[in-house]
């Protein structure tokens, strides 16, 4: 019996995520080329990301049947079991026989034929329980935090800190949002031709919905925007709505000197370039040369020129003589605001890494502030929900840079106001401390944090 292309792609993608610490989105992007049928690409994506989102619950259910931890199994056997159980539990249109038999064949394909009997037996027994809610199998004395963590398939330590930070209702909404496929959102680069550009897309099979935060944003379904003429000629890009909003907080003016300090992969740089105009200066910097090369290709697609790409370590003193009117520090972070899009992060991240990231982020922010011109503006942002990476970084750096203060909330909100869609109140995107913040389950976007900083005035 042969294995379907979709299951083969998903199995191989999951193995690379586990064995090579790859990101599923990157692996799928490289594997799902034009030769893969759309229906196979859709199923491969569903299986790969679905297994990663629900891995915690899948392992809990499997360990009941195995009598031992899934981590004790050879990786190909664990992946085949997860794939099979995910199909049995979550994909109603997949026949149980296909889910079981193809998982057995995947094990054989991985040269683990000795485990075929185990996979077959465990999944056949699991198939008889799929109508039973997972909650039925929880231990009677389980703690409330562990119960939520298992049923919503997140690490217990992560759920515990979010319950303390957000409360139960917002945490449950966040967990549910993380387990749903995120909206695929795009940006229109020339707002004056928005209707014309969007009018082209349905002929490529795409269904279009307006953005829920920004005027220039829109959501697509039914196909890939990458395969459209509008994408190829640089009229649109794929980007989360909150990510699109962050560079707008800088309020770049014509002729400004602008530094995009942690620029890769480059999605936030284009609006800075357009706002600065021909007489402006934009430097996009990153630590990794290969990421700068990828950015250059992206800018060529967008027909953007005049961007100065610089390789540097942003933790160290920056090699610029001039000061910048506007600086964007989109800092490397844990990515806990993007778990719907990158579900593997939830299983990869460890609590002690937050302190390491904090130290890195504080060093980068302090370095950037040394090049901020009088009267300038700096935006520090992450796609993290964790205080260690957000408020705590701002608080620590403020102690060594007492001349820097948060911009008034009204001014930060004003920078966004002209770009927001109908009915979106700028104040709804800022917390009580004046920081820009989005939270999955509350806003239709990834979770972002941004602080708008400026030199104290006279």
Q: Which of 186, 262, 333, 383 is catalytic?
A: 383
Token pair for residue 132? Answer: 């039973």
Whether residue 186 lies in the annotated active site: no
Distances (CA, A) of 293 to 39, 232, 288, 327: 32, 18, 9, 21
Token pair for residue 207? Answer: 């269904």
The position carrying tokens 């990828």 is 294
* 236-238 vs 217-221, strand pairing mode: unpaired
Determine contact, residues 341/182, Cβ cutoff 8 Å. Answer: yes
Distances (CA, A) of 288 to 254, 293, 309, 312, 362: 29, 9, 11, 8, 20
186 three-state secondary structure: strand
Which helix (H) or strand (E) is 452 found in, with range?
strand 449-455
Which helix (H) or strand (E) is 375 found in, with range?
strand 372-382
Determine contact, residues 268/260, Cβ cutoff 8 Å. Answer: yes
d(C-alpha 374, C-alpha 19), whole Å? 49
The position carrying tokens 């209707």 is 195
d(C-alpha 402, C-alpha 406), whole Å? 11
The beta strands (E) that lie in 153-298 are given as 184-188, 207-210, 217-221, 236-238, 257-260, 281-286
Mind telling me the catalytic residues?
A: 383
């Amino acid at each position: 019996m042969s294995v379907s292309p979709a299951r083969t792609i998903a199995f191989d993608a999951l193995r690379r995520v586990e064995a090579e610490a790859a990101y599923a989105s990157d692996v799928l992007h490289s594997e799902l080329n034009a030769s893969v049928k759309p229906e196979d690409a859709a199923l491969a994506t569903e299986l790969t990301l679905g297994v990663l989102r629900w891995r915690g619950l899948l392992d809990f259910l499997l360990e009941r049947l195995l009598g031992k931890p899934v981590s004790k199994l050879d990786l190909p056997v664990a992946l085949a079991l997860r794939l099979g159980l995910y199909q049995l539990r979550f994909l109603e249109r997949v026949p149980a026989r296909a889910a079981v038999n193809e998982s057995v064949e995947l094990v054989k394909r991985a040269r683990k034929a000795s485990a075929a009997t185990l996979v077959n037996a465990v999944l056949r027994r699991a198939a008889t329980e799929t109508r039973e809610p997972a909650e039925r199998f929880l231990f009677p004395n389980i703690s409330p935090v562990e119960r939520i963590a298992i049923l919503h398939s997140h690490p217990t330590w992560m759920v515990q800190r979010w319950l303390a930070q957000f409360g139960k209702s917002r945490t449950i909404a966040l967990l549910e949002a993380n387990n749903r496929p995120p909206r695929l959102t795009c940006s229109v680069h020339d707002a004056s031709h928005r209707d014309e550009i969007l009018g082209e897309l349905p002929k490529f099979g795409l269904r279009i919905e307006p953005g829920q935060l920004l005027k220039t944003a829109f959501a697509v379904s039914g196909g890939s925007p990458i395969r459209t003429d509008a994408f190829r000629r640089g009229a649109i890009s794929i980007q989360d709505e909150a990510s699109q909003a962050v560079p707008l907080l800088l309020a770049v003016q014509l002729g400004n000197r602008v530094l995009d300090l942690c620029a890769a992969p480059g999605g936030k740089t284009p609006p800075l370039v357009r706002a600065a105009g021909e007489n402006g200066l934009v430097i996009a910097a990153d630590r990794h040369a290969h990421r700068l090369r990828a950015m250059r290709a992206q800018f060529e697609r967008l027909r953007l020129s005049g961007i100065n790409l610089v390789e540097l370590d942003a933790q160290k003193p920056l090699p610029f003589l001039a000061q910048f009117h506007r600086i964007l520090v989109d800092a490397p972070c844990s990515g806990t605001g993007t778990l719907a899009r990158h579900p593997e992060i939830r299983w990869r991240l460890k609590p002690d890494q937050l302190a390491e990231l904090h130290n890195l982020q504080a060093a980068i922010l302090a370095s950037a502030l040394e090049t901020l011109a009088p009267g300038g503006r700096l935006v520090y942002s992450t796609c993290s929900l964790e205080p260690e990476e957000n408020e705590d970084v701002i608080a620590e750096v403020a102690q060594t840079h007492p001349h820097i203060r948060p911009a008034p909330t009204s001014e930060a909100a004003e920078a966004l106001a002209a770009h927001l869609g109908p009915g979106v109140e700028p104040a709804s995107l800022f917390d009580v401390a004046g920081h820009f913040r989005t939270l999955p389950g509350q806003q239709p976007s990834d979770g972002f944090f941004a602080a708008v900083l400026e030199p104290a005035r006279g």
